[in-house]
Amino acid sequence: MSVLRSTFVAASRSPRLRSTAERSSILTPVVERFVAGTDVDAAIEVARDLAADRYVSLDHLGEATTDPHAAEATVEAYATLLHRLDAEGLTGRAEVSVKLSALGQALGDDGQKIARDNLLHICSTAADVGATVTVDMEDHTTTDSTLEIVRDVRADFPSTGTVLQASLRRTEADCHDLAGRGSRIRLCKGAYDEPVSVAYRTKAEVDASYVRCMRILMTGQGYPMVATHDPALVTVGEQLAIAAGRGRDAYEFQMLYGIRPTHQSELAAAGHKLRIYVPYGTEWYPYFMRRLGERPANIGFFLRSFTGR
Ligand code: FDA
């Protein structure tokens, strides 16, 4: 991971910068490139537009919650979102993505239980309206806890999916474990600044790991969700799916709202199943900082938004 990217990931964790940045209830154009808006209406509007030729996964932004009431408020926000998706007739095209740290995972010794119970509530509401839930993956210190919670919740809600990060050395083994019938695994590169003891640090190593993991998922029995904007990996993903005898409805590509939009349109127009991850909400700062750090050109874009040039 580059120094620049590490710096932005570190800044994404600063409570002081976060509270300053999130103070305004209006998103600046530079944030709006990556975040659908601050409220559920804005998220529904974007989802409705995208649903014309693709699928969506909506994320109510929030993470690293240190307050049980905030975790409960997150559960309520997802209930509101899911009922709105149902009312708008969008549940065939839309699901939700959830971060366990927003559901209380970090709340001390009880965090695991609190997050699991909160996730069960969300999955139950999702099941009532016919939508699925995918659990995001955060930094490597949470991987075991997240996979354990997802395993527990899948006993009642088997369609619950989760994310694996190709940058982690453990992920090939996790892919083998989780490629069974009925599983839904979103494979991404990984957005966190991880130590070399647990993670690959160069692009070449991460990309090679991504291909190995995709091959395991594509030849497995589950439903692979190939989450990357990397055109080379998208091509390899399609080749591996064909080699594994999968039709286009037996896997999907996924990308983030606002990133490589032309590539997104081309994939959808070519008939690929493509899902766009659409974040919304007032707690946009950590997500936005991770996106900024992923591409040096974003920094110029960000700075120009202040200078007006
Ligand atoms: P890579 O970073 O190599 O980028 C490939 C190309 O895409 C770049 O050359 C550039 O053109 C474009 N690009 C990528 N990022 C960009 C950006 N921010 N701005 C502008 N252009 C950009 N991570 C995680 O740790 N846990 C998770 O739960 C998830 N969830 C998730 C869901 C979905 C649907 C996606 C697509 C991604 C995630 N991620 C994630 C993020 C993921 O780990 C990774 O950080 C980003 O997707 C960037 O990696 P790429 O695979 O796109 O490759």
158 lies in some domain: yes
Check residue 1 and give its pLDDT.
67
The shares of helix, strand and coil residues in the chain, as percent rounded to the nearest 5, are 55, 15, 35
61 lies in some domain: yes
Give residue 117's Cα distance to chain centre: 21
260: domain CATH number is 3.20.20.220
Q: Distance, CA 137 to ligand 1 centroid (Å)? A: 13
15 lies in some domain: no
- Assigned token pair, 204: 């070449």
DSSP-derived 3-state class of residue 253? strand
86 lies in some domain: yes
Q: Which tens digit of pLDDT belongs to each residue from 123-162?
A: 999 999 999 999 999 999 999 999 999 999 999 999 999 9
110 flagged as catalytic: no
Check residue 11 and give its pLDDT.
82
Query: Across-strand partners of 94?
Result: 56
Would you say how long the chain is, in residues? 309
- pTM for this one? 0.96
- DSSP class of residue 287 equals H
Query: Mean pLDDT across the stretch 78-85?
Result: 98
| Count of domains observed in the chain | 1
CA distance 218 to 225: 10
Is a pLDDT exceeding 60 seen at residue 71? yes
CA distance 245 to 228: 21
Q: Is 28 annotated as a binding residue?
A: no
301 lies in some domain: no
238 lies in some domain: yes
Check residue 91 and give its pLDDT.
97
Closest residue by CA, ligand 1 atom 3: 230
246 lies in some domain: yes
Query: Across-strand partners of 97?
Result: 59, 134
292 lies in some domain: no
Residue to probe by mutation, ligand 1, list 132, 135, 295, most atoms within 8 Å of CB? 295
- Among 18, 154, 186, 275, the one annotated catalytic: 186
Q: Distance, CA 109 to ligand 1 centroid (Å)? A: 32
Query: Across-strand partners of 261?
Result: none
Q: Distance, CA 190 to ligand 1 centroid (Å)? A: 8
Average pLDDT along the chain: 94
Closest residue by CA, ligand 1 atom 15: 294
128 flagged as catalytic: no
Q: Is the ipTM of this complex over 0.95?
A: yes
Query: Across-strand partners of 58?
Result: 96, 278
Measure the N-to-C terminal CA separation of the chain; round to a whole number of Å.
29
Q: Is the dihedral of CA 32, 91, 150, 184 positive or negative?
A: negative
Residues spanned by the domain of 228 = 36-283
Q: Distance, CA 191 to ligand 1 centroid (Å)? A: 7
User: Nearest-CA neighbor of 79 among 137, 135, 120, 27?
Assistant: 120
Ligand 1 pocket list (CB less than 6 A): 136-137, 163, 165, 186, 188-192, 227-230, 254-256, 259-260, 277, 291, 294-295, 298
Q: Is 218 annotated as a binding residue?
A: no
Query: Mean pLDDT across the stretch 96-116?
Result: 97
- Among 54, 93, 136, 139, the one annotated catalytic: 136
